[in-house]
Structure 1
């Protein structure tokens, strides 16, 4: 009996020692588990809170500070994947793309018809491919006829029948698409560039800080519609014209277009900032652009009498060809003074060309529509000014003085 009790006590003693031996280990494990669970719980709470906050923001709050900096519609995407802008760079279908040009680039856009192919070829060759991207707006739909030109494969070709350069510009030159280009040339096809150097021109524009500009016109060979576009032989740049007499006299005190702060719409050149403003002013349904020239000063990024100018040192010839709606009969068969001869049409092109009996009627209809659109634009501008109570006309005060 005593022996049994001793054995029992001995077993109890061993089991107690065993428990005592495991107790520190168990305690340590308990402490580690407790501390770890605290971190896990805290991290879970933080994640849950963050997810819940994002969910709340998306559902109950209109815009957060973070989303104000994002393009509309990109809120559901992770910020790093959002690409805000694009460009007109052609990309290869296979192989590694060429290293991108790190130089500043500008954009030359021209509304073209194949009848002026020869002249356009001369124009494009004046613009170095290392400095300019070329984009052609084909208003006659004859794109394949340009394939034989050396520079054609690197140009961007867009075709739409009987549309103007303003129609094309509104749809394909969105500011976010052309944001990489320092300057945008929005030119007509009937310009002579024998005495024009694009690099020197942009050098002058930058030195003179011109936001909107155009090359001056050679008065001996050009069709000049406004005196301010005529070339001055003694100046590098001029920003105003002086015309005495009549109801439209211009003098040193003139502050409004077309005496100052004005360029014609045949060969305008826009800075990146001025184009962003101008693009918004182009009306989607008014394709002739009449009336825009008198309002471009609002996009000049400041004083239009200083930031808009005509460059005399680099000048062009305005041939004045009425290409939209077809050429007039006397310009389809012979070369007019100061004009390039029209490109000879292939049999396929001849079949698509309008007959002479319809040319004059078409030209009259085009001109009539231009005046109608001018009147519509003026009325829209006036209405917009009246309805926008927050807008202040920066030029109203100067024009009253």
Structure 2
């Protein structure tokens, strides 16, 4: 506990930041519906966030190397807060798309700054415990934030103000209580072709996770509202998917360390497919059945990123771990851009239940591809693996390439929530 105490300011900052961002993602969908935006327009706005996120992931290393952690965080938090308030002032799809794109760029930079800061402050002895606490902060803040929606209401200026306040207040803990000055991240060259050669399955898996989980975050509230759930029930529905994403992270990761990792990826893919088929054909309009279904979807779909990332690291050569982290995150971003757009168009032409039919087609294709890759190449022997599963956050994996502290030997990171390797 004494090792965690110096990190409390950073963890508090992360909690405020993650909670505000999670609240905004759900709120934008519900407010867009209230303003008369179609599902396809809301999907486009959601894609705008992921476009900005992808851009932020590519350029944040340069920003951190240029001006440092605290200046980067201050600038991006101010821009994100201003973008959130601007959406309250101008209710227009084009403006909202632009502001969500800006917010995505800022949030990617903010998450990367906090998580690289954390990685610079921990040692190999307490890294896993620290990131576990971080994961709990992530889960708790996002879940709690969802219930501000029914408490404050979707209409009016209130939630926009609360979100802007959260993004601004996230500056306070690290500004007042953290005087550390982390080293800037190493320079890095993007080579996506090299990543594909390392792990075609991981690359495809990362895209699939983006294609399926991003539409859930952007369009899940639309589905829940369409089947008649109350605002409070919608908050519970979205929280259930997020909580589900944590429940099986460790068990699936543990078994993936002991077996051919592709078998666990396949099992998680099948579980995800079964859960979305259940939501599409059996959950109906029953609140309890829908919450159970989305919980199961989160439980199987969310760990896929970590499993695939760990699988890619199994095949990575020395010096390629940073490439794997950055590349997997980038390919996830591509899927997260396309997913909300495609799913929202289907909802426009059919019904909100098309969201889960779309996911089922994507997941079925991924299952077939995984089986084909298992036939094309043998698995990595457990004793020869270069990494073990760790359930980290996406951006955090990208920055695990930071040099270890001088007092501890550096070991290659294992990678976060990503779909990897063949």
TM range (shorter): under 0.3
Instruction: Tell me the TM-score normalised to structure 1 length.
Output: 0.27
Query: Greater relative contact order: 1 or 2 (C-alpha under 8 angstroms, separation 6 or more)?
Result: 2
Instruction: Tell me the TM-score normalised to structure 2 length.
Output: 0.26
The structure with the largest alpha-carbon Rg is 1
Task: Give the strand-richer structure, 1 or 2.
Answer: 1
